[in-house]
Amino acid sequence: MSAPATQLFLYGKWLFNIDQAQALLKDHLRDTKPTAVADWVAAYHLDQLTPGYDDARWCPVFGPDQSAFNAEHALQTDLNKPVIIATLEFDNGPAILLIDGIHRMYRAMTEGRTTLPAHTLTTTETIRIRER
């Protein structure tokens, strides 16, 4: 029997290990905080991904394209499971990035939910789970 695949999130040249993030959050418990669905829908262009989409002409600059997104799977996800947001440090200050929960955000959008529970990693934690 083979080991399950490691869940990863790729953003540009950076690769984040979601399994490590989940383990870190399990070891360092914290409360969830609500994150706005509309903000992430806009950032990831989730309103462009539709169950009947089968055309490769549209591909977002940031976020999943249809080839990496399964709307049917998204509609089966658990909206009570917190999404994970990474915190990155740049010269002009911190920025956040949704690294786990894009399918949940899509479902929340289709159901008209305004927020989802979220865990936000610190910049130090984000560095720990970044593989490159």
CATH of the domain at 99: 3.90.1530
Percent of the chain with pLDDT over 90: 66
- Domain carrying residue 89: 8-129
Q: Answer yes or no: is pLDDT of 11 > 90.
A: no
Mean pLDDT within 8-13: 86
Q: Answer yes or no: is pLDDT of 23 > 90.
A: yes
**Beta strand 115-120 pairing with 33-36:** antiparallel
In a domain, 1, yes or no: no
Please state, in angstroms and rounded to a whole number, the distance separating the CA atoms of residues 11 and 9. 7
In this prediction, residue 22 carries a pLDDT of 98
Q: What are phi and psi of 33, to 5 degrees?
A: -130, 145
Strands (E), the chain: 8-11, 14-17, 33-36, 83-90, 93-100, 115-120
Distances from the Cα of 112 to the Cα of 41, 68, 115, angstroms: 12, 23, 9
In a domain, 65, yes or no: yes
In a domain, 95, yes or no: yes
The pLDDT tens digits of the residues spanning 29-72 come to 999 999 999 999 998 888 877 665 555 555 554 555 556 678 88
In a domain, 2, yes or no: no
Report the number of distinct structural domains present in the chain. 1
In a domain, 3, yes or no: no
Name the pTM for this structure: 0.88
In this prediction, residue 56 carries a pLDDT of 53
Please state, in angstroms and rounded to a whole number, the distance separating the CA atoms of residues 17 and 51. 28
Amino acid type, 64? P
In this prediction, residue 29 carries a pLDDT of 95
In this prediction, residue 69 carries a pLDDT of 75
